[in-house]
Amino acid sequence: MAAQIVTPGFVRAVVQKYKRAWESQDPVLILEIFHENATYHEYILRDQPKKGHKEIEQYWIEKVCTEQSNIHMDIQNICSDGAIGIAEWRVTFTNKTNNKQYTLQQIAVMEFEGERIQHYREYWHSEKNST
């Protein structure tokens, strides 16, 4: 069987859906880009990845829907190599727990099987914006 090839255009379309899901805080929409048994790894060195739709949805409800508001994501760079897509973006949001504005710079590495993400890893840094 031939190896999967994803193009930068395909990766951009997936990341645009990710952006829509994040900005609209839609935990159902985000699941459309992940396989049912996908892994979602936020803290690479600390935590185990979220596994499957149920854990990914729960993470989005707790993190995105409960803790964030006024989300704006700016996609910056997209590339691909074989079945791997890599995207860089900048996000601003309000943390609802302390009512402070944050900027997040992030890179996501996505391993695709077919048209959906099978393994997702993110690397990021955030800072509280000065007021």
14-67 tens-digit pLDDT: 999 999 999 999 999 999 999 999 999 998 888 899 999 999 999 999 999 999
Give the CA distances from residue 81 to residues 4, 19, 26, 116, in Å, rounded to whole numbers and listed in that order: 10, 22, 29, 15
Query: For residue 74, which amino acid is it?
Result: D
40 contact partners, CB below 8 Å, separation of at least 6? 34, 49, 50, 51, 55, 56, 59, 120
61-108 tens-digit pLDDT: 999 999 999 999 999 999 999 999 999 999 999 999 999 999 999 999
Positive or negative CA dihedral for 55, 24, 29, 78? Answer: negative
Domains of the chain by residue range: 8-128
pTM above 0.85, yes or no: yes
93 contacts 71 by C-beta, under 8 angstroms: yes
8-128 topology per CATH: Nuclear Transport Factor 2; Chain: A, (3.10.450)
What is the Cα gyration radius of the chain?
15
Predicted pLDDT at 45:
83
